[in-house]
Amino acid sequence: MKKIVSAALSCAFAALALAHSGGAAAADVGVSVQISQPGVYGRIDIGRFPQPQVVVAQEPGNDTACVLDGMLLKDFPGPKGQIHYVEGTPDFFCDLNELFSALLAPEQKRALTAVMVQDMGKTDWDHPSANWIDAKTAFYVSGSRKRGSMGPTLGSFSSLPDAEKFAQQEGGKALRFAQITENMVNLSGGVVNDTSMSR
């Protein structure tokens, strides 16, 4: 065990010495060494090496309300959304119209750590639960016959084949996150039936 720790420390200090030989840039360098052997678990951090922030989706409870209108998420069909910020608690949305309206609003200036939606290829439309995915890598279907709390809404999926299958069954077209614009989503009339798509 001593040999393992000693070797790890030697590697760490060697890396740190190499970093210092770089002059001014050394202040931006950190060293992180993992030790994992049977019965030995630990980590050695040298310098100011930033650790990535892990964001875990929060499952809405029966009393979780939409940040925009106070409607209870569990009372309505369709995919839900949540936005996590660098500071403060996450905001929940009972409809993807509302989620994108908030994200795309010019006044949205808060620093985000994650945006999550539900994968409707893996959960029931009328009673969605869990199956949270990264909103920015998801695929969406606009213009389908399915409805959410605000009327016509977007469907969200983790894969393009699932999105296209849904579109064939329910109508609409598949879109990527970056293709959804503010003028496509309005809270008074749902999602505009935009059938354009570029792959």
Model pLDDT, residue 172: 95
Report which of residues 35 and 177 the model is more confident about: 177
Q: For residue 172, tell me if it sits in a domain.
A: yes
**pLDDT surpasses 80 at 9:** no
**pLDDT surpasses 80 at 70:** yes
Quote the percentage of the chain above a pLDDT of 90: 56
Across 6-27, b (16+ Cβ under 10 Å) vs e yields eebeeebeebbeebeeeeeeee
Query: Do residues 88 and 175 both lie within one domain?
Result: yes
Query: Do residues 167 and 98 both lie within one domain?
Result: yes
Model pLDDT, residue 191: 45
Q: For residue 97, tell me if it sits in a domain.
A: yes
Q: For residue 56, tell me if it sits in a domain.
A: no
Confidence of residue 53 (pLDDT cuts 50, 70, 90): low
Q: Name the pTM for this structure.
A: 0.69
Strands 31-37, 112-118: parallel, antiparallel or unpaired by DSSP? unpaired
Query: Do residues 149 and 102 both lie within one domain?
Result: yes
Tell me the residue range of the domain where 22 lies: 2-46
Query: Do residues 129 and 31 both lie within one domain?
Result: no
Q: For residue 54, tell me if it sits in a domain.
A: no
Model pLDDT, residue 72: 95
Q: For residue 65, tell me if it sits in a domain.
A: no
The Cα–Cα gap between 88 and 106 comes to: 20
Q: How far is CA 178 from CA 34, 95, 138, 155, 197, in A?
A: 38, 18, 10, 15, 11
